[in-house]
Structure 1
Amino acid sequence: MFSIPYGRQNIDEADIAAVEAVLRSDWLTQGPAIERFERKVADYCGARHAVAVCNATAALHIACLGLGVAEGARVWTAPNTFVASANCARYCGADIDFVDIDGETFNLSPDALEAKFEQAAREGTLPAVLIPVHFAGQSCQMREIAEVARRYGCKVLEDASHAIGGRYLGEAVGGCRHSDAAVFSFHPVKIITSGEGGMVLTNDPELYQRLLRLRSHGITRDPAQMRGEAEGGWCYQQLELGFNYRMTDIQAALGASQMDRLDAFVERRRRRVADYRRELEDLPLSLPRQLPETDPAWHLLAARLDQPQWRRPLFDALRAEGILANVHYQPVYQQPYYRQLGFRDGLCPVAEAYYQRALSLPLYYDLTDEAFDRVIQAVRTSLSEIAS
C-alpha cells in the first residue's frame, strides 16, 4: 500500500530542463536566474521589488532587520504558525508576543489585535512590527489589521509562506498594499518549490536596497552607496553586518519554472478543498471558514475535530493506514524555548483550544482521486469508531 503524505512537490520535465540549463551555464549562483525569478514573482503579485534568499526563515529575519527590529524592540505574531514566524524577531534581539486567532478562520483575529493594541498603548509596550500569518494559504483580514497597526505606528510584515497564488480583495497576496513587506516560502511542501528558498517582497525602494545588502554580508558594489570614492572596478564595501542568505541559480531556475504552473497548482488545490468540504460535511469536524474577500491558495487543509480526545487515536489510525496526517500548529509559545522566556498557557485561549483538536489532512497537486477516496474512507471509518 502506498503512503499518502500531507503535502509534496510536483516536478515536471520543464522544471528539470530549467535546472539543467543552469547546470550547463556559467552561473550556478549569484547569476541572472536569481533576478529572473524575483521579477517573475514580483510581477505576478504586483509588487515593485523582490529579494530571493535561501529560505523563508532568512527572508523573515532580514525583513525584520530591514524594518528596524533591534534589541529591545517588540514584535507580535500569531501563535498558530511555524516557529520561524517568532524566531525571526529573537534573531534580532527583540521581544516577541502573540495575538490570538479567530476561531473560524484560524488566522490572526482583528478583534484580539485591537484589544491587545489598546492594552499595549496604556502600558507603553507597543510593538515595532506585527507579523500576521496567512495560515493554510488564506489571507488574514489585512485591511483591518493594517488600519489598526498603523494607527499605533506599527509596521506590518506579512508571513505569506503558505499563500503564494492566493488573493485578497481581488488582488494577489504579496502585493504589499496593506503591509511594508511580505514573505513567501518555497519549501517542497508549499505551493511552488525551489527546493529550499524564500523571498521578501516590498514596494519600498530603500528597504529593497537594504534587503539586497543584508542577504549578502552587508556588502554593496554600487558606487552610489559606498562611503567615499571606490578605488576601482574591483571594489566592494561592507556597510553593515549582513548574512550569507543567498539563493543559488539552480534553485531560482526551478522556482521560476514552477511559477509558470502556479495558477494550475492553486486551482487544483481549491477544487480538492471543495471535495473535502463536500465529503466531510456530515462528520463531527469543521474546516476553516473561507472569508468572502479571500480566494485562498490552500497550502494546508487543517480540520478541527469536535472533541480533543479524538485527535490522537484518529492520527494514529490514519498513520497505520499509510495516510500521513499531520498537526499544524501547536502554539509557538508552548515550545520549551519560549516557556523559558516566561510564556505560560492561557495567553491565547482560542489558539490553544484549536490546537487540541487540529489535524491536517493530505492536500497537494498530485493527490489522485484514488488517494483522496482512501483518505475519506479512512477518516469516516476511524472517526466513526472513535466517536461512538
Structure 2
Amino acid sequence: MKFPERFSNLPAHAWPRLRALLDVHAPGGDVINMTIGEPKHSFPAWVTQVISDNAAGFNSYPPNEGSDALRGAIAGWIKRRYGVDVDAASQIMALNGTREGLYNAAMALCPETKNGQQPVVLTPNPFYQVYMVAAISVQAEPVYVPATRETGHLPDFAALPAEILDRTTIAYVCSPANPQGAVADETYWRRLIELAEKHDFQIFADECYSEIYRDTAPKGAIEVASAMGADPERVLIFHSLSKRSNLPGLRSGFVAGGPESIRRIQQLRNYAGAPLPLPLQAAAAAVWADEDHVIENRRLYAEKFDLADRILGNVAGYRSPEAGFFLWLPVPDGEAAALKLWQDTGVRVLPGSYLSQDVHGENPGAGYIRVALVAPKEDTQRGLETIRDCLFQ
C-alpha cells in the first residue's frame, strides 16, 4: 500500500520532542510545568449548571453550524468587542475548538492552483503548527515568514517577493502572537489587508489570545477590515473560549467572515466535522454573553505579568509581553536551557525551536524558551525565580 508522501517528512510535533528531550532525565526538584498553554484559572462556576439544565440536548444531533442561540451570542460579542455587525446566520460558524477551523478553512478555501501555479500559504515563523499542516494538506507551498525582534515579532509579509505574493492564497496571522505576545495594531492590519487586496489572498486571523491583555484591548482584523470597507471575504477571524474563559475542555470556538467563505467551510463540515453537543453549545452561548469572568481572568494574568517584569526585568533582552500569557525568553540555546532547567530544578519549559521551522539554516526560535504563565500565582512566582536563578545569574 502506498501512502501520501506529503505527510511522511513532517517535523516531530513539539510535545513528543519535548518528552524525548526531558523525560529520559530525572527532574532536579519539584516539578513546575510551564510548557503548555492550558489555562488553570477557574472557569465560571455557573457553566456546569447551564450544561445540566440543558442535558436533554445530549439526546439530539447538534446543528452543524451551531445553534441560533450560540451564533447569536457570538454575533453580540463581536458587536460589543469590535463594533462590527455580522449576520449570525450567514457569517458565523461554531467550531469544535479553533484548531479545527484553522485547518478546515484552508481545506475548504485554498484553490488547487493560483495563476496556473502551486498555491502558497504564508505562516509566521515561529507558528502554531496547524498552519503548516493545513498548508501541506492542501498541497500548497508553506512559506515561513520570520517573526523576530527585527520585525516586531510579527511577520512582515510585504517584504516577500511579488512572485510569492502573487501565488499566495492564505496568510495566517496570530495576534496576540503565540509565543511572543506581540500585538498587531491598526496600521499593521490595514497594511496587511491592503496587501491582500492587491495580491488577492485571504487573511486567517488567529485571535485566540485577544482577551488576555494588559491595558489596551488589541485591535481586531475584522474591526479594521470593516472600517476600510474591504471585501467581506478577505478576512476570517478565529476565536475561542479556551483562553478567554479558561475552558479549553469545552472545545468551543468560532470562525466569522464573508458569507461565501462560511458557506464553503460549513459544506465541508457537513461531511468531515464534529459539531459541539447542544448542552455545551448552551454553555458556550452563556459564556460569550458574560464579561465579568473575563475581566477577573485578565486581572489575574496582569498580576503575573507584573511578577515577570519584577523578577526577569533585568535579564538582557527580556521583553514584557503586550498580551497573551507566554514569555519568550532569550537564551543562548533553547534546548540546552530547557534541559538544564529540568535536570537542575524540575522546571519544565518549551524550547523555542520546537515552535519554528528551519529556513536557510536559520531557526528563529532557537535562541528562546517559551514560558507559560498559566499556573497559580504562587507557583508562577516560584517558577520564574527558579528560571532567573538557574539561567540568568
TM-score (norm 2): 0.71
Determine whether 1:86 maps to 2:132.
yes
Give, in whole Å, the separation in 1 of the partners of 2:341 and 2:215: 37
Q: Which residue of 1 aligns with 2:170?
A: 129
Change (3 A) 1:22 1:375: same
Determine whether 1:139 maps to 2:183.
yes
Give, in whole Å, the separation in 2 of the partners of 1:195 and 1:319: 35
Once the two structures are superposed, residues 141-182 of structure 1 have per-residue CA deviations (whole angstroms, 9 ceiling, x without a partner) of: 322222222222222111224435569996653635335101
Change (3 A) 1:187 1:253: same
Q: Percent identity?
A: 13
Determine whether 1:279 maps to 2:311.
yes
Give, in whole Å, the separation in 2 of the partners of 1:99 and 1:25: 45
Give, in whole Å, the separation in 1 of the partners of 2:78 and 2:60: 26
Q: SS at the partner of 1:303?
A: strand
Change (3 A) 1:328 1:51: farther
Determine whether 1:75 maps to 2:126.
no
Q: Which residue of 2 aligns with 1:209?
A: 263
- Say what the alpha-carbon RMSD is for the aligned residues: 3.4
Change (3 A) 1:147 1:39: same
Is the CA contact (8 Å cut-off) linking 1:187 and 1:194 kept in structure 2? Answer: yes
Determine whether 1:116 maps to 2:160.
yes
Give, in whole Å, the separation in 2 of the partners of 1:105 and 1:191: 31
Change (3 A) 1:328 1:153: same
Q: SS at the partner of 1:177?
A: helix
Give, in whole Å, the separation in 1 of the partners of 2:345 and 2:98: 33
Give, in whole Å, the separation in 2 of the partners of 1:278 and 1:167: 15
Change (3 A) 1:270 1:139: same
Q: SS at the partner of 1:286?
A: coil
Runs of 5+ unmatched residues, structure 1? 218-242, 291-295, 335-343
Q: How many residues align?
A: 330
Determine whether 1:8 maps to 2:55.
no
Is the CA contact (8 Å cut-off) linking 1:76 and 1:129 kept in structure 2? Answer: yes
Determine whether 1:270 maps to 2:302.
yes
Determine whether 1:380 maps to 2:388.
yes
Match for residue 44 of structure 1 among 53, 74, 77: 77
Q: SS at the partner of 1:81?
A: coil
Change (3 A) 1:99 1:115: same
Is the CA contact (8 Å cut-off) linking 1:163 and 1:299 kept in structure 2? Answer: no
Deviation at 1:382, TM superposition (A): 0.7
Q: SS at the partner of 1:270?
A: helix
Once the two structures are superposed, residues 22-75 of structure 1 have per-residue CA deviations (whole angstroms, 9 ceiling, x without a partner) of: 324465641597443333333223351321122323202332244443353221
Give, in whole Å, the separation in 2 of the partners of 1:175 and 1:39: 17
Match for residue 301 of structure 1 among 327, 332, 344: 327
Give, in whole Å, the separation in 1 of the partners of 2:72 and 2:381: 39
Is the CA contact (8 Å cut-off) linking 2:317 and 2:330 kept in structure 1? Answer: yes
What letter is aligned with 1:90? I
Is the CA contact (8 Å cut-off) linking 1:56 and 1:186 kept in structure 2? Answer: no
Is the CA contact (8 Å cut-off) linking 2:325 and 2:373 kept in structure 1? Answer: yes
Is the CA contact (8 Å cut-off) linking 1:273 and 1:301 kept in structure 2? Answer: no
Is the CA contact (8 Å cut-off) linking 1:78 and 1:101 kept in structure 2? Answer: yes
What letter is aligned with 2:308? Y
Q: Which residue of 1 aligns with 2:5?
A: none
Match for residue 54 of structure 1 among 96, 99, 103: 96
Q: Which residue of 2 aligns with 1:231?
A: none
Give, in whole Å, the separation in 2 of the partners of 1:274 and 1:184: 26
